[in-house]
Chains A and B, each alone.
Chain A
């Protein structure tokens, strides 16, 4: 079982960047007006941050990381590790994290690589980076996490298009023997890999004459095989059933209860879904912040983006006990129980 704890690693800074461009649910004319209102109320999305064609996830991660490094006053030559987590890389190859190492002016002694994960990515990334630092003694690391999911969704697919937004984030981690333990609980169910999938134009099914042919899959859902396909009911059921158990197991392993936490930050998937999770775990609404209304479901960026957007004042001025949970595409899910103590956090960045 992947429940484990890592001590002696501290998050010293966190930054997030979104594209300036917004699309409003009210303007999404592929969906009938009544349904748009229902969507806004139920799913909780009024507007989404949508990147323009000339920007990628790595641009938002770069902006966030560059600002964070400046604010932390880190000597860039001391960064030992950079991990980039995304499902919207700049290229098939080389890895985007490598490009970011160069662009950020990090030294050639820095280790850099990518991890391909979506909604669970932030928690998995913290576990990977913290575990490597603890084992190797690397002192400073950057975790860059985000997605440009809007690049994969079809306008005429009302089950995906109004849901997703774009963002990039940067988290700075340092080796610090005094840092309290982080308790992780990471899970996977690959047998359900088709629940969220871009079916073609990679190597399993290379691009063919049908790849970009649009098909009406269901009323209001027209897409092609390079678009993101979402089995909403399956993902919904997975999330409201598996995630509360995963979070409860994490709290138990950390010997904590709801009362011990200041905040629980859930992946911003769909407010109906996350409210269900919140209620099952008996967390009061004031402990569970949301950013979905302003940016949509921003995939792996949603947990750190929500912290920057909603908890910046708290985390920059004191110690807070946090539960962070990501869940979705894979299926892959995980939770971390940890503290954030007076960290550096520049205001949310926006680039055009």
Chain B
């Protein structure tokens, strides 16, 4: 059923001068899926994600996100997606509550809905005591969870996460993934880049990118079988070494 596909990418390419950052990648993502987008540093993951969310204009190829074209309908895509960048980009000098309210406002939610949503998120993250404190003072793990919650403030159909758990301990990462699962269970499609191979195991399907190209695509089990490896680490190393 075509309606099940929420991200459709066909030969998408991005060049910066002579350098091809993303080289004719092709894949589909289904509704409600957790799609892992793996690759070494500099493999082109962030560039690919930025084309899908309308921050970068592709050089060539086609892609539809939430049914909208990445060339002509970027603003419509933006209404339907949430995004959390690898660099924390909420306002550190605003309080937890103000950040959530701000993004609720930017996404055009009615005031009542903003208030309700804000209370909900604060409740869910257990940040009641810190709601009025500035975000800059939160520990990194909290910041990341808050950023994820804010990315979903307008109930988007897809949430893009670009290395969301960089620099935090395994327990905090585990908590983060629980949030991801909860969203996916509610029907939100998750598109996540990572280079933690244990996280790759949490995904429904993964693609592995090497030097701008997708070298492997499938469920973690399929990939391990295909490359006759015990762990995703092995799969990744085999691919990355070429």
The answer to whether A and B assemble together is no
Interface residues of B (CB under 8 A from A): none
